[in-house]
Structure formats: structure tokens, C-alpha cells
Structure 1
Amino acid sequence: MADEDPIVLSFGDSLLRKSDLDLLSAPNWINDRIIGFCFEYFEREQFNHSADRISLISPSVAQFVRFAPVEDLIMVLEPLHLPSKQYVFLPINDNPDTDCVGGTHWSLLVYVRSKQEFQHFDAFRGSNQSIARKVVDKLQPFVQAPRSKLRFIEMECPQQENSYDCGMYVIVMTEHLIKEFCECFSVGVNEAVNQETVRQKRKHIHDLILELSSTDVNSVHHHLSPGH
């Protein structure tokens, strides 16, 4: 019997199936595998020029950070060399379980070393703030941020206009913030990200996955952005 949910793409640590690809058609909630793929693509390909400055933590590791005892985090986080990174990105999921597959909302947490800040970008303002703060408490020693100076800031950011685009906002805001931080983009996230850019990004990611699936991924250096 043929596989009813065939593998579409194997990219680094990301394994995407047809059911994942189908989520890129609205109105669908983006899952951890799509976010994980985009984070991996950003770090390995699109923004590899800044790989020494940024760390994009996968949804599964971010969820592990939230729930695991501190002593269990050492083996997972130390290989990421977070003390040497200027910017650390984590997708935050509100699932009260250890599994990030469930839940109803995604938001974005970013550590900015130069400001000693954890910045929280939530497209449904305030929804994940208490969860993000718990992740900050767990992550603080591993980024080697001085606790006495560390700040948590709920950032003004674009707000979703529906109930299903939170994961897409995390992806689009992450991409834009890396451009701001590492490529000197002067347009702020509030001006650059909106419902229309999120809608377009769904198609761009869908097309990129199909392109990568039919190409030698080691030779592809296309961007998620339109026009690249």
C-alpha cells in the first residue's frame, strides 16, 4: 500500500511530509515542523553569513527548555554555543504538555545580547507572556546573561487578523528581525510585516519546499523572500 503521507523533503534535521506542506494553504495553523524547517533554512542557507551571530532554536528544543530540569538542559544547549551568539530566537508554544505539536498559539522570543534583553513578539498580544517569562528564567544561565541587568520586554509588533496565522507571524517576524539585526535593514517589523506579507510568505515557503525537494539541497541558496 502506498504511503498516504509521503515524505516531501529531508533538509538537515527537518523531515517534512505532504500533510505538513498542506498546512501552508490557508486557513491552516502552522505546525512545529514547518517552523523548524524555516528556522533551519534561515540559519543554514539564507542567513548563513551571520551564523556565528545568531541561533535559531527549534520548536522541540524550545519546548524542552520550558519543561526540562535545568540539569537536563546542559547536554542540549551547550552544543549550541549560546554564550557566543548575539541573537537567540525561540518559538514559544502554549501547549501545557511537553509536546509542542499541540497548543493553540505561537509567539517569538528573542534574546538581544547588546541590550541584555529578552524581547517577546506576540501577534496575539499578551497571550504567551507568562510562558515566555518562564523560558527566560530557564534560558538565562545558558546565554550567560547577567541576571541583575536582564530585562524582559513585551514588544509592540504586528497583530494577526485571524485565529490561524500565529505560526506564520513567528516565521515572518524572525526573518525580518534577522535582516534588521544582521543586514542593517532600516524598516521596522511593524512597518514590514502585515497580513498580506504573511499571506504571501505561505506561498513562498510552499514553493521553496517543492524546489528543495527536487534539487540538490547542498547547492541551493535561494531566499524565502520574494524577488531573490
Structure 2
Amino acid sequence: MENESNDVVLNFHDSLLYKADVSLLDDQKWLNDKLLGFCFEYFEREKFNHSADKLSLINPDVAQCIKLLPNDQLGEFLEPLNLPSKQYVFLPVNDNSQSEQTGGSHWSLLVYIRSRQEFRHYDSSKHTNQEEAKRLAYKLQPYVLAPMGRMKFLEMDGPQQNNSYDCGVFVIATAEHLCKELCEGYSIPLNDIVTPKTVTETRRKIKDLIYETAKEYSGS
């Protein structure tokens, strides 16, 4: 009999999730690129689709390629994303330097704000991914048409994790909050909303969202 963990739970546009992926949302497990990719895709296509013209949430696999591909190969790769037209670009950052895979041991969030001409880095384990995020920002700079002389990179005072495994959930929760703030005028401070306590609840909400979306997209 086929291993249950290989059973497909959700097929949503470019996201394919198996039981083994969804089980990572149980307590004290590190989230993989597939879970972050689904949440980013869901935010862009569904939850914040009213702002699709100004918002881009980039898949972890694509972010990894941006970080590691030679500059002369990036233009053609990034063209379909239409980044020069976007006001806000979100990218998950990881500390893995291998081009064949996504992962490493830590996730953080990089956000480009066009009106401020700045990249903001939200790291739930302060400064752990700072160099990786800077490298990604400077690789992306020509493709978002950020003016090099005035472009800023800011390490933000964002929510902090108190364990070794919740970084991916912090990225998802922070990205969702910032989308609400930037696209819907939500004004409650990030650090009041995203905390170690609410992140535990976010795990359950993501799991519920996956099963609800699966039901909706299967037509059952």
C-alpha cells in the first residue's frame, strides 16, 4: 500500500501539497518551501487579489533562483513577474546556498516598498539572514527598477520567535499582516498582532485554510 504521506491534499494553481507537507503544521515542526509557497500564492490570487496589480508575492523556489542565478540569466527569468509595475514585492529568504534545493535552517521575509525605494527585512531571529537578504535585495534591484543611488536596505524591528522552528510561520503571518497594512490600510502595529502566541494559532489557521481550499477546488 502506498505511503499515506504521499497522498495529495491540495492542488492549487502552482501549489501541490501532500499529507507529509501539511503534517509540518503540527506543533514544533519547521515549515518547508511548499507551505510558504502555497500561502504566498493564496494571498496573491485569493485573499488580496483586489490588489493584484500592485502586489507580488514571490514563491520560495523563485526567490532562491533569484539569489543564486548569474545576473545575466535573471532578466528572462523575472520578466513574467512584471515587477517594475508592482508597488510591493514580497520574498521569502532562506539561508541555503545550494541552487538545487530550497531550505536551509531559517526563513525570513524581504519586502520591497516602491514609494519608499527601500527593501525591508523582517527576521524573527534578529540578523540571522541579514546577509542573505541583502544579497537578494541587490540582485533584485535592477528588476524592480529601484534607483541604486537612493535605494535603502532596512533591518526592521519585527516580531521575534522564542524557539528554533517557527520562523516559517512568522514569515507567513508577517506577510499577511503587511499585505493588510499596505493594501487595505490596516493600522494595528505588526508586533501587536504577530507574537509567539498568535503564531501557534496561525499554524492551525493555515491547516484549516489548506483543507478548506482543497474542498473548494475539488468542487466537493
TM-score band by shorter chain is over 0.9
Q: Is the contact made by 2:12 and 2:217 (CA closer than 8 Å) also made in structure 1?
A: no
Counterpart of 2:77?
76
Q: Is the contact made by 2:64 and 2:102 (CA closer than 8 Å) also made in structure 1?
A: no
Counterpart of 2:170?
169
In the alignment, structure 1 residue 40 sits paired with structure 2 residue 14 = no
Distance 2:196 2:156 in 1: 18
Distance 1:154 1:111 in 2: 12
SS, match of residue 25 in structure 2: coil
1:100 deviation in Å? 4.4
Q: Is the contact made by 1:63 and 1:99 (CA closer than 8 Å) also made in structure 2?
A: no
Distance 1:134 1:39 in 2: 21
In the alignment, structure 1 residue 132 sits paired with structure 2 residue 160 = no
Q: How does 1:1-228 map to 2 (within 5 A)?
A: 1-4=1-4, 5-216=6-217
SS, match of residue 199 in structure 2: helix
Superposed structure 1 runs of 4+ greater than 6 Å apart? none
Distance 1:215 1:67 in 2: 36
- The 3 A distance-change label for structure 1 pair 218 and 77 is farther
State the percentage of identical aligned residues. 53
Q: Is the contact made by 1:60 and 1:99 (CA closer than 8 Å) also made in structure 2?
A: no
The TM-score normalised by the length of structure 2 is: 0.96
- The 3 A distance-change label for structure 1 pair 6 and 218 is closer
CA RMSD of aligned residues (A): 1.4
Deviations 1:177-224 (A, max 9, x none): 0111011011121121101211111101101111222223689xxxxx
| Structure 2: tracts of 5 or more residues without a match | none
1:158 deviation in Å? 0.6
Aligned partner of 1:128: which letter?
Answer: N
SS, match of residue 206 in structure 2: helix
Distance 1:113 1:214 in 2: 37
Distance 2:88 2:114 in 1: 6
Distance 1:216 1:172 in 2: 23
SS, match of residue 89 in structure 2: strand
Query: Across the two proteins, how many residue pairs are aligned to each other?
Result: 219
Q: Is the contact made by 1:66 and 1:134 (CA closer than 8 Å) also made in structure 2?
A: yes
